[in-house]
Amino acid sequence: MELEVRHLRALCAIADTGSLHKAARQLGVSQPSLTTQLRRIENSLGAELFSRERTGCRPTPLGRSVLSRARPLLAEMAALVVEAKASAARAGGPRLRIGSTASRVLADWLRRLRQRLPATDISLHVDVSANALLRMVAAGQLDVAFVHEVEGCPLLVPDALTSRVLVEREPQFISMSRDHPAAAAPVVELADLAEDRWMVDPTVDGEWDGLRRVLRAAGLNPPVLHGDYHTAASLIAIGEAVAPCQPTSGPREDMAIRPLRGDPLAVRLLLFRRPGACEELHEAVYAELAAAYREAALRAAAYRQWLLRHKRPLPHAPAA
């Protein structure tokens, strides 16, 4: 006889109630039937799992061992059933699969979308590669992708995709330690960072090529570190490096964020989608993205001042 879930459930009921009679009532079966089932289980395993006493049933050492494995299996089975039912309930409803490169607006964008589309199953896939995300949209693995295109390094856009521009030219600011000499000025000269180590993530499409182009155009050849931006933050804070950053980056006590004179580094922010996607849903996705970006931009003091100084409008969020 092979053990089944119902056998494990019976063993746990006997252990929990301490009585074949009480366990039978809990399981909705007769006591003789449960007694027979227990005997078959024990015969299958080759030893007793419970000691029958006048005061009830007590697990034997083998019984305790079997119960220690049975309980998590039953819990996993219960979770599987709940999750499967939830997935089945969502299967017939609308879903939205979002892809994005790293962005300060992601959390608020998702929050807004969940509030606006409560019946929609929304998932998020983040990737450092904008080109990889666009391929996923073209393959039908994602519905939309919010990406940035480094100036001078055009993305490889599959023919089938359509795009909508969120920001035509977003300047990239510079993050540096609070006590960096250049941090004393509201706007930083690129030449003031010539002796600094620059850190850049080469896995981000266009990032290293775009920075190298700007540095060469300025006649600069500073030392460059390649690494992810999470590592960069700790190095920047102690003055070991400087790095480009999104202008919507939030304030930190150990870091200063400043615009560069002339804004030589910039990206274009785009929302791509598959052809045939629901127009109404796409409007909602874009509207909430624009609203989230506006909020992030106005919350970042340095970017807010830059926008006012350059009289640049923020993305317009269509009415709901």
Tens digit of pLDDT for each residue in 97-125?
A: 999 999 999 999 999 999 999 989 999 99
Residue 91 has pLDDT above 90, yes or no: no
Question: Which residues are CB-contacts of 242 (< 8 A; sequence separation ≥ 6)?
Answer: 174, 175, 176, 180, 193, 196, 197, 198, 199, 236
What pLDDT was estimated at residue 275? 77
Q: What whole-number percentage of the chain has pLDDT above 90? A: 58
Residue 255 has pLDDT above 90, yes or no: yes
**Could you say which DSSP state residue 181 is in?**
G
What pLDDT was estimated at residue 319? 52
Residue 41 has pLDDT above 60, yes or no: yes
Give CA–CA dist 209/224, Å, rounded. 12
Give CA–CA dist 142/162, Å, rounded. 13
What pLDDT was estimated at residue 25? 87
Residue 236 has pLDDT above 80, yes or no: yes
Per the prediction, the chain carries an average pLDDT of 89
User: What DSSP line would sit under 5-50, residue for residue?
Assistant: HHHHHHHHHHHHHS-HHHHHHHHTS-HHHHHHHHHHHHHHHTS-SE
Which phi and psi (to 5°) does residue 80 adopt? -60, -45
What pLDDT was estimated at residue 85? 63
What pLDDT was estimated at residue 111? 96
Question: Per-residue pLDDT tens for 53-78?
Answer: 888 888 999 989 889 888 888 888 88
Retrieve residue 220's tokens: 């600069």
What pLDDT was estimated at residue 248? 95
Q: What whole-number percentage of the chain has pLDDT above 70? A: 94
Give CA–CA dist 26/36, Å, rounded. 16
Question: Per-residue pLDDT tens for 194-215?
Answer: 999 999 998 899 999 999 999 9
What pLDDT was estimated at residue 79? 77
74, 12 contact by CB (below 8 A): yes
What pLDDT was estimated at residue 268? 96
* Angstrom distances, CA of residue 132 to CA of 50, 66, 119, 191, 198: 58, 48, 28, 34, 26
What pLDDT was estimated at residue 56? 85
> What average pLDDT does range 250-262 have in this prediction?
90
> What average pLDDT does range 154-158 have in this prediction?
93
**Could you say which DSSP state residue 242 is in?**
B
Query: Taking Cα atoms as reference points, which of 280, 264, 293, 292 lies closest to residue 320?
Result: 280
For the full predicted model, state whether its pTM sits above 0.75: no
Question: Per-residue pLDDT tens for 167-196?
Answer: 999 999 999 999 999 999 999 999 999 999
217, 264 contact by CB (below 8 A): yes
> What average pLDDT does range 286-298 have in this prediction?
95
